[in-house]
Amino acid sequence: MAKTTSSVNYLTAKRPKTGDPLASVTYDAQNRPTIIVYNVGFTGNTETVNISYTVDGWPIFNGIEYRNYQIDIWKGILEKKTDVSISGTITVVIELANGFATQKINVGTSVVQIVNTSDRISIAIRNWSDPASGQILYLAEDNTTLLDGWPMISREGTSIDLDPNASLFLVASSGTIDTRILEVTRT
C-alpha cells in the first residue's frame, strides 16, 4: 500500500512485507539504525531508507527532524516516543482486602439501610428472590428516591467499591425479598 502525500508516518513508499520486512540494517556507533533496506512489493523489490540523527538523538528523515519520535524498523514507521525518565526509587503499594463479611437480610416495602462496616472497601448485593415472583430490589444512595434507584431483578446483583462511611438503602417492589450481602474489608 503506497503512502499518501500527507503521511509522514511511513518511511517507505510501500509498506514493508509482512513476516520478512527487513533485507538489511546498518547501525551507527550509538546502535541506532542509519541505513534500512526494506523488502517491499513483489519478490526481490527493496527500498533503502537513510536516517541521520541530531546531536540530541532525534531522527532526521528526508531532511526533516522528528523530535519526540522514534523509528520502528519492523513496521517502517516513525512513532511518538514514550520515554519515561525516573530517578530514585518508586514504590507502589496496592493494599488488598484481607477479609469479608456476609449477611442475609429480608427487605420489604419499608426502607432498609445497610449497616456500614468500618473497614468496608467494596460491597456486593444480590436479589435472591424466586424468579417467578417478579420482585425487584431497588438500591439507592438515600432513602427518598428509592424507586428511582438501581433495579435488580430476581437473581441479579451488583457490586460497588465505596467508602466505608457511604450509606446504601434498599427497598422491595413488593413483598419481602431475600437479599444477600457480601462486604469486602481491609483492616
pTM: 0.50
pLDDT above 90 (res 157): yes
pLDDT over threshold 50, residue 1 = no
Please list, in sequence order, all residues whose beta carbon lies within 8 angstroms of the beta carbon of residue 102, skipping any fewer than 6 positions away: 180, 181, 182, 183
Split at pLDDT 50, 70, 90, the class of 164 is confident
The tens digit of pLDDT for each residue in 10-53 reads 677 777 777 778 889 999 999 999 999 988 877 778 889 999 99
